[in-house]
Structure 1
């Protein structure tokens, strides 16, 4: 499918918003910054996002959700166990953090922390993003023998721990918190397997 010029511009604006949120936060990202970063005509922003910054922020959150979801899905196809999928995801996140000198974080957690109490639209976008990660992990765990309630609880804990570990890793400028989270999740997975046995 060939994308139109307009669709490419819309995506470029969303990608710029996503990267700038990762670097500067939602509040620290102005629309002029986005237009400049995207190399787009100024009028194109309101043409593609007539509802302004919140609409663009919502699209950036959706884009982040899709990308992380694809990472989990690709890892699940290539790896045999939930623990191996987790390690692949942790390695990818650690690489992103190190590659950006710990400047890039998860835009979904950033938007949640900054705007979750102020914008129902953005809070809901973040809720959907987190759910889009929890749901496939739940299904992966079910496929490996966990009952649905146990799988859902483990998946929610896994996503929550990884999100928190990304924040602590940025603060400490170290990937150690990510790998500590991975070790703790391994323990949870082992306990979950025992509980479902």
Structure 2
């Protein structure tokens, strides 16, 4: 479901397509997700949130400077886009745009997913000496810029918007650290 949402969107992903893609009987879908498509969407958002949160945490642990963290994250996202011929993007942003006004449960799940990415960035920035409020503000801007860059990269079929975001964020984060 996650990959299908990334490529086709939530509305463009029917349950028959999910079972076909998963090569699973339709009955197993309803067994594991008795609440239907919305429950499956919630699980997909949770999975996407966990994966990106892990990417952020791993990058922060393996890097000494903010520019290295940003570089690692952007490299992974650029690889995802190019490897999929710009067909896959962030399922959380897709879900937010499509369903945020229609399903409070899905909107809340998306808000929680974004928060799960903002929080470790804010913690990293706090560890570097920023106040918690300043770190949270900057972390929100970082996640927002990266998300926007993914969308623009898909539209332009180029990773250059991601690279521009990385350069801008690196300049901002390194200047603030100095």
Q: Which residue of 2 aligns with 1:182?
A: 166
User: Do 2:9 and 2:94's aligned partners in 1 also have CA atoms closer than 8 Å?
Assistant: yes
Q: Which residue of 1 aligns with 2:131?
A: 147
Q: Which residue of 2 aligns with 1:23?
A: 7
User: Do 1:94 and 1:178's aligned partners in 2 also have CA atoms closer than 8 Å?
Assistant: yes
User: Do 1:58 and 1:122's aligned partners in 2 also have CA atoms closer than 8 Å?
Assistant: yes
Counterpart pick for 2:50 among 51, 63, 66: 66
**Matched ranges for 1:1-197 at <5 A:** 17-193=1-177
TM-score, normalising length from structure 2?
0.97
User: Do 2:67 and 2:174's aligned partners in 1 also have CA atoms closer than 8 Å?
Assistant: no
SS in structure 2 at match of 1:164: helix
1:155 Cα deviation from its structure 2 partner: 0.4
Q: Which residue of 2 aligns with 1:13?
A: none
Paired positions, count = 178
Unmatched 5+ residue regions in structure 2?
none
Quick one: structure 1 residues 153 and 191, their matched pair in 2 at CA, closer, same or farther if it must change by over 3 Å? farther
Q: Which residue of 2 aligns with 1:9?
A: none
1:81 Cα deviation from its structure 2 partner: 1.5
Q: 111-120 or 181-190: which moved more?
A: 181-190
Q: How far apart in 1 are the matches of 2:135 and 2:6?
A: 30
TM-score, normalising length from structure 1?
0.88
Q: How far apart in 2 are the matches of 1:147 and 1:191?
A: 16
1:191 Cα deviation from its structure 2 partner: 4.4
SS in structure 1 at match of 2:163: helix
When the two chains are superposed, the root-mean-square deviation of aligned CA atoms in Å is 0.9
1:82 Cα deviation from its structure 2 partner: 1.8
- Structure with higher RCO (Cα < 8 A, 6+ apart): 2
Q: How far apart in 2 are the matches of 1:131 and 1:178?
A: 21
